[in-house]
Amino acid sequence: MSKYSDGYYVLTKHSGIDQPYHWVLKAPNHEVILTSENYSSKHAALNGIESVQENCNLDKNYSKKTASDGSPYFTLHAKNSLVIGTSEMYSSNEARDKGIEAVKNYGITTIIVDETNTSGGNNGNTSGAAVISSKPTKNENAGRYA
């Protein structure tokens, strides 16, 4: 059985932009099922993952939407109504609803593949990436996450 049988998050960092941190939630088959906004710090991105873990189980946190080209998609919201993540575009409402169920099933995973120190873009191949199972503990001296 794959260590990713419960899905996993991939945390990446892109150089040359103001908000370089970004994460995606992947299903066990390595397909992206939820995408984050960009964040200015790793800590903020990890907080976004934590927010998905806390909010993905409730139907009321999902907004079913339709893109300008007619493609269905959804957004996941935190308790404060801010968007945590956005889905891909789907071919039908039924496919979108299956996507929501996938986020409900896999969004609670604690597996985070940290590619912030690698080139990223490895399509499920995590060689060179650190796998962390939870948000790092806060460093009291630095006042931020190590």
d(CA 68, CA 80): 26
Residue 2 in domain: no
- Domain residue limits at 122: 8-137
Residue 133 is predicted with a pLDDT of: 54
Q: Is the pLDDT reported for residue 143 higher than 60?
A: no
Which tens digit of pLDDT belongs to each residue from 30-75?
Answer: 999 999 999 999 999 999 999 999 999 999 999 999 999 999 999 9
State the average pLDDT over residues 68-84.
Answer: 96
Whichever domain contains 108, its CATH number is 2.30.29.80
Nearest to 23 by CA among 135, 144, 101, 100: 135
Domain count, the chain: 1
Residue 145 in domain: no
Residue 1 in domain: no
Q: What angle do CA 115, 83, 99 make, to 5 degrees?
A: 75
Nearest to 113 by CA among 133, 84, 138, 136: 133
Residue 100 in domain: yes
Greater pLDDT, 129 or 51: 51
Residue 136 is predicted with a pLDDT of: 53
Residue 3 is predicted with a pLDDT of: 72
Query: pTM, whole model, 2 decimals?
Result: 0.81
Residue 3 in domain: no
Residue 144 in domain: no
Kind and range of the H or E element at 49?
A: helix 42-55
C-beta neighbour count of 24 within 10 angstroms: 17
Residue 51 in domain: yes
Residue 108 in domain: yes
Residue 81 Cα distances to 16, 41, 51, 63, 68, angstroms: 30, 21, 12, 10, 22
